[in-house]
Amino acid sequence: MTVFDFGGRRALVTGAGKGIGREIAALLATCGAEVVAVSRSADDLTRLQRETGCLPVVADLETVEGVQQAVRAAGAIDLLVNNAGIALLEPFLEATPEAFDRTMAVNVRAALLLGQAVARDLITRSSPGAIVNVSSQSSMVGLPNHAAYCASKGALDQLTRVMAIELGPHRIRVNAVNPTVTLTPMGQRAWSDPARSAPMLARIPLGRFAEPLDVAQAVAYLLSDAAAMINGVTLPVDGGFLTS
């Protein structure tokens, strides 16, 4: 595991209760950051706090009020990771407005509102900062039954670019990571069937899916001073999937 130094910095990680978000929060805490962890699940946050010392904030980022609640509870933040996301899979011809709106609210609108709040405070404090949006390889390729999800991640990539352009002059860097299938507990269950996983693995030159730590370390790098000249990128963490 690569270790970065985030001593003296406060990081806000959304979707931190499980999977990739939990791994990011734990890694940043290990690297010295004071981590504010946001999740809908109080039980998940209690376990994370006990194991890593992260400060828990229970909030539902699907609503504007939930985002505002998270902002108030978090306080001053130097590093933001917009990781919260949902995937409501439906065939295109059966995609519902309700599922589309929910997906866009969590995957895009929450990142916009949290990014605004953190950036405004950094500018007020004349402090540099870094933001990483957790996107997906599905922002760049179409996947069956993923109309809303692919649309939301494509929008998140474009939001990342605009944020980087407008916030860069304020010394706030904004980047995205775009993972392939990641073996969180949910991912392991979803992709345990070789009949399903084999065609996807065949498109990954490295021959494996990502582990949550693979994504967390990419996020930590983009937040760190080692990436001081990197702004506005969408970084695949996909073993080469997008090259095939």
Active site residues: 149, 153
The three-state secondary structure class of 91 is coil
Q: Is 197 exposed, middle or buried (0-12, 13-18, 19+ CB in 10 A)?
A: middle
Sheet holding 129-134, edge to edge: 55-58, 34-39, 10-14, 79-82, 129-134, 172-179, 234-237
The whole-angstrom separation of Cα 244 and Cα 240 is 7
Q: Is 112 exposed, middle or buried (0-12, 13-18, 19+ CB in 10 A)?
A: middle
